[in-house]
Every structure is written in structure tokens, then in C-alpha cells.
């Protein structure tokens, strides 16, 4: 009986989280994305989430450049 309840709970959580797969996130290595992050940081320099996103984007861009060599 408990196994059935646990399976039902798991099925419901799968349905709730699966609806946003159509949305395409911007590529962090895209130059316009990095420029947008820099502009937003100029407006709000204390936003740690923007700093983290910028650092991640720059790291990914550097890794892609190394792979292209």
C-alpha cells in the first residue's frame, strides 16, 4: 500500500516539473548575453546572482575558446 502511495507522489511531481521544456534559455557564452549582464551590473552592482552569472558565462566562453584551438 505504501509503495503505491509513493509511486503516485512521484508521478505527480514529474508532471508538475515537465512543462517548461519548450522554453529555450539564452546561451551563456553568447556575446549579447554577456553584454546584457554587464549592463545590468552597472545598474545594480551589488547583485550577487548577476556576478555569478557573468563569471559562469566568461568561464564557459574561455573553455569553448580552448576547445576550438
Condensed to tens digits (0 to 9), the pLDDT of residues 16-30 reads: 444 444 444 555 557
How many C-alpha atoms does 68 have within 13 Å on its Cβ side? Answer: 6
How far does CA 6 lie from the centroid of its chain?
A: 30
Cα 39–Cα 44–Cα 50 angle in degrees, nearest 5? 70
pTM: 0.51
- So what's the pLDDT on residue 5? 47
pLDDT at 52 over 80: yes
Does the structure show a pLDDT above 50 at 13?
Answer: no
Which residues, 6 or more positions from 29, have their beta carbon under 8 angstroms from its beta carbon?
A: 57, 60, 61, 64
Most confident of 13-22, 50-59, 60-69: 50-59
Residue partners of 51: CB distance under 8 A and separation at least 6: 41
Amino acid at each position: 500500500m505504501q509503495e503505491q502511495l509513493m509511486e503516485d507522489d512521484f508521478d505527480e511531481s514529474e508532471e508538475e516539473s515537465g512543462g517548461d521544456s519548450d522554453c529555450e534559455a539564452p546561451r551563456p557564452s553568447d556575446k549579447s548575453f554577456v553584454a546584457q549582464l554587464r549592463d545590468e551590473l552597472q545598474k545594480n552592482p551589488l547583485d550577487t546572482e548577476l556576478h555569478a552569472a557573468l563569471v559562469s558565462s566568461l568561464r564557459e566562453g574561455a573553455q569553448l575558446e580552448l576547445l576550438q584551438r
